[in-house]
Structure 1
Amino acid sequence: MTPLKYLQGYPAHLLDQVHRLIAERRLGDYLGRRYGGRHEVQSDKALYAYAMALKQEHLRKAPPLDKVLYDNRLDLTHRALGLHTAVSRVQGGKLKAKKEIRVASLFKEAAPEFLQMIVVHELAHLRESEHNKAFYQLCEHMLPGYRQLEFDLRLYLTWRELSPA
């Protein structure tokens, strides 16, 4: 049986279904039917505008974002699909914190729903730093169906890893 490293912690009955899809070579078909499209957000400038629109819609009072970009250094080996950081610098006599979001470049090729899910995830960290109940409630508020999208993204990552290059 193929180890499902992106799906650890999910119930056994779900993992059995995934194993069955993999064995029958139908995982790609399942994902293609659900998430067949590709988004238009291909540049860092477009990604910044996309993230700012989501932030404006759901998190108006959250700290401002200074930078949002695709990062080709983020990858699955580091177990990071996105990062939120606060870079603090002294400017004059004040300490300024600049908020940044970096999204793994693999999302340039992903379905629009997966890009939205990862951006919502990173934006939620502006308000909740930990992956706790409040964090996931905020994600679900910003993107109804967030939990299913996160599961399907994990399926997508599994499929990418199993597919021949």
Structure 2
Amino acid sequence: MEPALRYIQGYPEHIITPVTKMYQDGRLAAWFNQRYPDQHTIKSEKALFDYTMAIKNRYMKKTALLRKVTYDNKIHLINNALGLHTYVAKVHGGKIKSNNEIKIASVFKQAPEPLLRMLVVHELAHLKEKEHNKAFYQLCCHMEPDYHQLELDARLFMIVKDLTDSK
């Protein structure tokens, strides 16, 4: 498998084969850009926090507080991940206080809005479900019905991004 196609490793053959063909024919970027012609406008961390909180308040009002949401340019390089959810519990005056933070890979500043939303939904779901289990994916699909398609499309975005960055 081509190194650029590592993002879809583990997907079934009926997905890998057409993506590989488009990649080899040099058509993947054009196909993706036609499917998602526009980038989102959520560039600042305040805008990202507000965007995330709007989704959280709509679907997850009773979950733990979210202290911070940021773009992070180290995530992809270190963890080969697109987002991270961190949880820190501290004892303060006999009470346990928790700080939840979400970090989104900076590469998603240039992504289409549906892909950013999928990533935010994924990280928000970790507030309630720590593991990637059935309940986790059900929650993701509750917040974003096209979650699974958008997750694949986010991986295709990364392939296209690698293609355009290498030119």
| Fold shared by both chains (TM-score > 0.5) | yes
**Equivalent in the alignment of 2:115:** 114
Per-residue CA shift, 1:78-107, capped at 9, x if unaligned? 212111111222322222111111111111
**Equivalent in the alignment of 2:73:** 72
1:126 is paired with a residue of what secondary structure?
helix
Q: Percent identity?
A: 50
After superposing on structure 2, the runs of 4+ consecutive aligned residues of structure 1 that deviate more than 3 Å are: none
Aligned-partner Cα distance in 2 for 1:76–1:139: 25
1:42 is paired with a residue of what secondary structure?
coil
Q: Compared with structure 1, are the counterparts of its residues 147 and 76 closer, same or farther at alpha carbon in structure 2 (3 Å cutoff)?
A: farther
Gap runs ≥5 in structure 2 = none
Aligned-partner Cα distance in 2 for 1:20–1:76: 27
Query: How many pairs are equivalent?
Result: 165
Aligned-partner Cα distance in 1 for 2:78–2:63: 31
Aligned-partner Cα distance in 1 for 2:113–2:83: 15
**Equivalent in the alignment of 2:38:** 37
More helix by share: 2
Residue 76 of structure 2 aligns with an amino acid whose one-letter code is D
Give the alignment of 1:141-152 within 5 angstroms.
141-152=142-153
Query: Over aligned residue pairs, what C-alpha RMSD do you find?
Result: 1.3
Gap runs ≥5 in structure 1 = none
Residue 109 of structure 1 aligns with an amino acid whose one-letter code is Q
More divergent stretch after superposition (82-91 vs 61-70): 82-91
2:88 is paired with a residue of what secondary structure?
strand
Residue 112 of structure 1 deviates from its aligned partner by 0.7
**Equivalent in the alignment of 2:2:** 2
**Equivalent in the alignment of 2:12:** 11
Residue 157 of structure 1 aligns with an amino acid whose one-letter code is M
Residue 76 of structure 1 deviates from its aligned partner by 4.4
Per-residue CA shift, 1:86-142, capped at 9, x if unaligned? 122232222211111111111111111111010000001111111111111111110
